[in-house]
Amino acid sequence: MLGDGGDIIGAVKAVVVPEAVAVVGGGGRRGGFEVEAPRLRADSAGETVKLPDGRTLSQRELCLEALRLNPKLSLVLKSLADLLSPGESVTLPDGRTMDRAQLLAEADRLQSAGT
Maximal CA-CA distance, the chain: 49
pLDDT, position 54: 86
pTM of this structure:
0.65
Full pLDDT tens readout for the chain, 115 residues: 344 444 455 545 555 544 433 333 344 444 443 434 444 455 545 578 888 888 888 989 999 999 999 999 999 999 999 999 999 999 999 999 999 999 999 999 999 998 6
Annotated domain spans of the chain: 2-112
pLDDT, position 19: 44
pLDDT, position 49: 82
* Distance (Å, whole) CA 1 – CA 46: 5
- Distances from the Cα of 11 to the Cαs of 25, 27, 68, in angstroms? 24, 24, 14
Between strands 56-58 and 41-42, the pairing is: unpaired
pLDDT, position 88: 96
- Distances from the Cα of 94 to the Cαs of 25, 52, 60, 70, 109, in angstroms? 38, 25, 15, 11, 17
Q: Which residues contact 42 (CB under 8 A, 6 or more apart)?
A: 1, 2, 3, 9, 48, 49
